[in-house]
C-alpha cells in the first residue's frame, strides 16, 4: 500500500487544482480503506467484510451530511441550484431524532450479484438497536455504492469544489478521482451511421460438389495440434464489380500470394470445440438477438447448447437487472436516452466474437452487459464479471475507450488478471500512436490491445495487397502498446434479412481476438489460460512481418488461430480444363462458378458474355435481349441494346452523413425505420450526428 500513499497526494492535489479552475460539480469515485493490512475484500472473512460494509455505510453518511450542509456550493453562476440536489428536500426531513434515536441512512447497494455474499442489512439494523441508531434505506443518486477493488471499497459521490475539499478530512478516505463520463470516451467503430444495404450485393454460389476438397484435415491437425477441426466453406461476396472475401478466412491461414490458376481460400478453419464452455462477456451498447436470430442460435437440446443473454444494464454506477424481453434485446441507458444512438454496435461486436455463422467462436456463451460508458459503470461491469464468470474460462471484450486515467479501473484490472480473467480491448481509430496517451484505457496494464488492418471499403479479390496494411490516416491506432492486429472490416450477408451488414474499426478486430482466444481455451481445457499465457500464445501463433505501413515500433503481427497452411482452390477457368463448372453453372471471369438459375440479377450478370463469362468452362448467356442464346427476350419496354434491363451500378459514395447511390442519385434505403422527416437531409437520407466519436 506504500505506492498508494504517494499516489494520494499527487492525484488529490491535481484534481483539486483542476476544480478550482473549473469550479464545476462532478461525480467522483471515492475510495474507502479500512486498514491497509486488509486482504482483498472478496478474500476476507465474512466478519471482516461486515465491518468494512458498516464502515463504508458510515462514511457515506458522513459525506451525505457534508453535501447537505454545503448545498449552496452547488449553485451555478446564475444562482440556481444544481437539480441533482433535489433529492435533499426529500431526505432532509428524515434526518431527525426519533424516540431518542439518531437517524442514519442505509445506502442501498444495487451492485450485489448472484455469487457473492450480500450486504447484511438486517444484521446492521439489529446492531443499530444497541447503538440507538435508526437506519432508513436510501437509494441515492448523490452517494451510492460502486464495488470493492483490491482491499478498498469504491463509492460514487456528486461533489462541488467546496465539498470535494471537505471530504479530505473524513477518516478512511484515501483516494478519489473524477469520473470519466460522456465527454471522454469513444466507441471504436469507423461508421457514424450503421445500416444494411438491401440486397444489391450477393455471395457467389460457388460450386464445389464436382471437385475434390482441396484442403486436407489431417494436415491441418498435424500442424495445429487441435483435437479436431471444422471447416466453414464461405461463399464470396460480390459487390459493385468487386469480389470480396470473408474476414474469418484471414485468421486461419498464412499470407495469401495470388496464383495464376488458383483462387483465394475463403474458408474458415477452426477447432471443433469452437469456444464451447467458455464465457465471452461483451461490455458494450447492448445486444439485439431479434435482428439476427440466425447468428444467435443457442443450439437448444444439443450437446453444444449455450447461453446467449443480456445480463444487465449498468448506468450511473448501478446495476439494473433486465426483464424477460430485455434478456435478448437490450440497449444501454445512455443510448436509449440520447438523440442519436449507435445501439447496434454491441450486437455487431457479439457476432464477430461468437456469432453462429459469422463469429470466430461459434459455440461460446455470450453475456452482454449494456453499459453507460463512465468509469464507475465500467467498474461495476468488471465486478459483475468477477462474481459471475469463471477464472481461466472467461474472456472479456472492451470495444470502447476512456480518455481519462482511472486508478480504480487499473486496480480492478490487476485484481481480475491475477484471478485468471482475460481482457481484450480495441486500440482505437484515431490513426495515432496510442502509447503517447497514457490516460487511454487501451494503454492500461492487463489488456490485450488490438489494432486493425485494412479498415476500408475497397478490398480487391484478385490482390490481397490492400488488406495487409494499416490505414493510419483514418483508422487504427498503432504503436508498441498494441499487442496484435486483426481484420477491422466487418461485412457479411444476413441470412435473416438477406441484406449486407457492414461496419469497421478496431471495435471488430478486438472481438475476433476474443473469439480466437475462446477457441484455444476450449480446445485445451486442461490448460489454465490467464492474461499472460494467452497473450504469449496469440503472439506465438500470429503471422509475422506481413503488415505494411507500420511505424513507431508497432508489432508486425496478424491474428491467427494456429493454422498457417495456405490452400488455394483451383479456378474454374484453370488452364488444364479439369475444374470446369457443372451443368447449369457458369464460370465467372473471377474464377468461381455461379448457379445460372440464381434469382439475383447482379450475381447472374457475371454469367453474361458481355461481362466476360468464361464460355469454355461453363454455360454463358448473351446479355442483349435480341440474341439467340439470351436469357431474356425483347419487349416494347426493353430495347435490343438493353442488357436484360440491367445497368450495373457504378459507385457508392460513403460520406459522414449521407449515403447516395450515384448511379441513380437516389438514397440507399435503410434497414431501420425512419420515424420522422426531421431525420432526413435534403436528399431524403436519414442522417445522424453523434456527440461522441465512434471508431
More confident residue, 137 or 635: 137
Question: Where does the pLDDT of residue 430 fall: very low under 50, low under 70, confident under 90, or very high at 90 and above?
Answer: confident
Torsion over CA: 39, 42, 46, 50 (sign): positive
Question: Where does the pLDDT of residue 642 fall: very low under 50, low under 70, confident under 90, or very high at 90 and above?
Answer: very low
Which of 404-418, 628-642, 663-677 is predicted least confidently? 663-677
Long-range residue pairs from 523-526, CB within 8 A, at least 24 positions apart, any chain: 523/226, 523/227, 523/271, 523/273, 525/277
Task: Output the nine-digit C-alpha cell for 284.
Answer: 458494450
Rounded average pLDDT over 645-665: 31
Query: How far is the CA of 442 from the CAs of 423, 433, 438, 447, 478, in angstroms?
Result: 11, 11, 9, 7, 11
Q: Kindly report the CATH number that applies to the domain delimited by 232-558.
A: 3.40.50.200
More confident residue, 445 or 601: 445
Nearest to 186 by CA among 380, 427, 376: 427
Task: Output the nine-digit C-alpha cell for 178.
Answer: 473524477
Check pLDDT > 50 for residue 655.
no
Q: Are 534 and 448 in contact (CB under 8 A)?
A: yes
Rounded average pLDDT over 29-36: 96
- Strand duo 102-107 + 133-138: pairing: parallel
More confident residue, 327 or 78: 327
**What residues does each domain of the chain span?**
2-178, 232-558
pLDDT, the chain, mean: 80
Check pLDDT > 50 for residue 463.
no
Q: Are 364 and 275 in contact (CB under 8 A)?
A: yes
Rounded average pLDDT over 187-207: 41
Q: How far apart are the first and last CA of the chain?
A: 37
Going by C-beta distance under 8 Å and a sequence separation of 6 or more, which residues neighbour residue 456? Answer: 466, 471, 474, 475, 489, 504
Check pLDDT > 90 for residue 62.
yes
Quote the CA–CA distance of 544 and 468 in Å, as a whole number.
Answer: 11
Q: Are 372 and 360 in contact (CB under 8 A)?
A: no
* Ramachandran angles phi, psi of 138, nearest 5°: -145, 130
pLDDT given at position 1: 45
Check pLDDT > 80 for residue 437.
yes
Q: Are 139 and 319 in contact (CB under 8 A)?
A: no
Task: Output the nine-digit C-alpha cell for 560.
Answer: 491467427
∠ at Cα 471 (514, 183), nearest 5°? Answer: 70
Check pLDDT > 80 for residue 330.
yes
pLDDT given at position 370: 96
Rounded average pLDDT over 333-350: 75
Question: Where does the pLDDT of residue 127 fall: very low under 50, low under 70, confident under 90, or very high at 90 and above?
Answer: low
Which of 201-210, 509-518, 521-530 is predicted least confidently? 201-210
Residues above pLDDT 70, as percent of the chain = 73
Per DSSP, which regions of 372-415 are E strands? 394-398, 400-402
More confident residue, 510 or 262: 510
**Percent of the chain that is helix, strand, coil (3-state, to 5):** 30, 25, 50
∠ at Cα 468 (466, 471), nearest 5°? Answer: 70
Rounded average pLDDT over 70-95: 87
Rounded average pLDDT over 512-534: 98
Quote the CA–CA distance of 289 and 308 in Å, as a whole number.
Answer: 9
Q: Are 285 and 194 in contact (CB under 8 A)?
A: no
Burial zone of 100 (CB within 10 Å; 0-12 exposed, 13-18 middle, 19+ buried): exposed
Check pLDDT > 80 for residue 633.
no
Question: Where does the pLDDT of residue 500 fall: very low under 50, low under 70, confident under 90, or very high at 90 and above?
Answer: confident
Quote the CA–CA distance of 441 and 57 in Å, as a whole number.
Answer: 30
**DSSP SS3 for 517:** helix
Q: How many CB atoms lie within 10 A of CB 77?
A: 6
**DSSP SS3 for 74:** helix
Residues above pLDDT 90, as percent of the chain = 53
More confident residue, 202 or 123: 123
Going by C-beta distance under 8 Å and a sequence separation of 6 or more, which residues neighbour residue 675? Answer: none
Check pLDDT > 50 for residue 546.
yes
Burial zone of 673 (CB within 10 Å; 0-12 exposed, 13-18 middle, 19+ buried): exposed
Strand partners, 187: 400, 694
For the stretch 552-605, pLDDT in tens is: 899 999 999 999 999 988 999 988 888 999 888 899 888 888 887 776 666 777
Which of 254-263, 346-355, 463-472, 634-643 is predicted least confidently? 634-643
Check pLDDT > 80 for residue 470.
no
Quote the CA–CA distance of 64 and 581 in Å, as a whole number.
Answer: 77
Strand partners, 143: 157
pLDDT given at position 467: 62
pLDDT given at position 97: 52
Question: Where does the pLDDT of residue 608 fall: very low under 50, low under 70, confident under 90, or very high at 90 and above?
Answer: confident
Quote the CA–CA distance of 437 and 581 in Å, as a whole number.
Answer: 55
254: left (phi over 0), alpha (psi -120 to 50) or beta: beta
- Predicted TM-score (pTM) of this structure: 0.83
Amino acid at each position: 500500500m506504500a505506492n498508494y500513499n504517494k499516489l494520494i497526494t499527487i492525484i488529490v492535489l491535481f484534481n483539486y487544482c483542476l476544480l478550482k479552475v473549473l469550479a464545476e460539480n462532478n461525480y467522483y469515485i471515492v475510495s474507502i480503506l479500512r486498514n491497509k493490512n486488509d486482504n482483498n475484500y472478496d478474500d476476507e472473512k465474512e466478519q471482516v467484510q461486515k465491518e468494512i460494509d458498516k464502515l463504508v455505510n458510515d462514511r457515506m453518511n458522513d459525506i451525505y451530511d457534508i453535501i447537505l450542509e454545503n448545498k449552496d456550493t452547488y449553485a451555478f453562476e446564475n444562482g440556481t441550484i444544481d437539480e441533482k440536489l433535489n433529492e435533499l428536500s426529500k431526505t432532509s426531513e428524515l434526518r431527525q431524532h426519533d424516540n431518542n434515536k439518531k437517524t442514519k441512512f442505509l445506502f442501498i447497494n444495487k451492485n450485489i450479484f448472484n455469487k457473492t455474499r450480500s450486504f447484511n442489512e438486517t444484521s446492521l439494523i439489529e446492531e443499530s438497536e444497541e447503538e440507538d441508531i435508526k437506519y432508513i434505506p436510501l437509494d441515492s443518486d448523490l452517494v451510492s455504492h460502486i464495488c470493492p477493488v483490491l482491499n478498498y471499497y469504491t463509492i460514487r459521490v456528486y461533489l462541488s469544489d467546496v465539498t470535494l475539499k471537505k471530504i479530505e478530512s473524513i477518516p478512511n478516505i484515501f483516494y478519489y478521482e473524477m469520473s470519466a463520463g460522456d465527454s471522454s470516451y469513444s466507441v471504436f467503430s469507423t461508421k457514424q451511421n450503421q445500416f444494411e444495404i438491401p440486397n444489391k450485393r450477393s455471395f457467389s454460389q460457388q460450386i464445389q460438389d464436382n471437385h475434390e476438397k482441396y484442403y486436407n484435415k489431417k494436415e491441418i491437425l498435424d500442424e495445429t495440434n487441435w483435437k479436431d477441426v471444422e471447416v466453414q466453406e464461405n461463399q464470396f461476396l460480390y459487390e459493385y464489380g468487386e469480389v470480396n472475401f470473408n474476414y474469418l478466412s484471414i485468421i486461419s491461414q498464412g499470407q495469401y500470394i495470388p496464383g495464376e490458376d488458383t483462387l483465394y481460400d475463403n474458408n474458415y478453419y477452426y477447432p471443433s470445440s469452437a469456444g464451447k464452455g467458455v464465457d465471452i462477456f461483451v461490455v458494450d451498447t447492448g445486444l439485439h438477438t431479434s435482428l439476427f436470430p440466425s447468428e444467435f442460435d443457442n443450439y437448444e437440446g444439443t450437446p453444444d447448447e449455450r447461453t446467449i443473454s443480456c445480463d444487465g444494464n449498468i448506468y450511473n454506477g448501478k446495476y439494473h437487472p433486465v426483464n424477460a424481453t430485455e434478456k435478448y434485446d437490450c440497449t444501454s441507458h445512455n443510448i436509449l436516452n440520447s438523440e442519436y444512438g449507435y445501439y447496434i454496435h454491441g450486437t455487431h461486436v457479439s457476432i464477430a466474437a461468437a456469432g453462429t455463422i459469422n463469429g470466430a467462436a461459434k459455440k461460446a456463451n455470450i453475456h452482454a452487459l449494456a453499459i453507460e460508458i463512465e468509469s464507475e459503470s465500467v467498474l461495476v461491469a468488471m465486478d459483475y464479471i468477477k462474481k459471475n464468470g469463471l477464472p481461466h474460462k472467461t474472456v472479456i471484450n472492451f470495444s470502447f475507450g476512456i480518455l481519462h486515467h482511472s486508478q480504480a479501473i487499473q486496480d480492478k484490472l490487476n485484481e481480475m488478471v491475477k484471478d485468471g480473467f482475460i481482457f481484450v480491448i480495441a486500440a482505437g481509430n484515431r490513426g495515432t500512436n496510442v502509447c503517447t496517451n497514457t490516460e487511454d484505457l487501451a494503454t492500461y496494464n492487463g489488456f490485450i490491445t488490438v489494432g486493425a488492418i485494412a479498415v476500408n471499403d475497397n478490398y480487391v479479390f484478385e490482390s490481397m495487397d490492400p488488406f495487409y496494411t494499416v490505414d493510419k490516416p483514418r483508422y487504427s491506432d498503432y504503436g508498441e502498446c498494441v499487442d496484435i492486429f486483426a481484420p477491422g472490416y466487418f461485412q457479411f450477408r444476413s441470412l435473416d434479412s438477406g441484406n449486407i451488414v457492414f461496419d469497421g474499426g478496431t471495435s471488430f478486430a478486438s472481438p475476433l481476438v476474443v473469439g480466437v482466444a475462446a477457441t484455444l481455451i476450449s480446445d485445451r481445457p486442461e490448460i489454465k489460460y490467464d492474461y499472460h499465457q494467452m497473450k504469449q500464445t496469440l503472439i506465438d501463433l500470429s503471422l509475422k512481418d506481413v503488415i505494411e505501413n507500420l511505424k513507431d515500433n508497432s508489432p508486425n503481427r496478424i491474428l491467427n488461430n494456429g493454422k498457417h497452411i495456405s490452400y488455394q482452390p483451383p479456378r474454374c477457368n484453370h488452364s488444364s480444363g479439369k475444374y470446369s463448372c457443372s451443368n447449369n453453372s457458369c464460370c465467372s471471369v473471377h474464377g468461381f462458378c455461379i448457379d445460372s438459375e440464381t434469382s439475383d440479377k447482379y450475381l447472374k450478370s457475371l454469367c453474361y458474355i458481355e461481362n466476360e463469362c468464361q464460355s469454355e468452362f461453363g454455360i454463358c448467356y448473351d446479355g442483349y435481349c435480341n440474341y439467340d442464346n439470351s436469357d431474356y427476350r425483347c419487349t416494347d419496354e426493353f430495347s435490343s441494346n438493353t442488357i436484360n434491363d440491367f445497368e450495373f451500378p457504378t459507385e457508392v459514395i460513403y460520406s459522414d452523413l449521407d449515403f447516395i447511390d450515384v448511379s441513380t442519385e437516389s438514397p440507399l434505403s435503410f434497414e431501420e425505420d425512419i420515424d420522422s422527416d426531421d431525420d432526413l437531409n435534403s436528399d431524403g437520407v436519414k442522417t445522424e450526428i453523434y456527440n461522441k466519436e465512434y471508431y
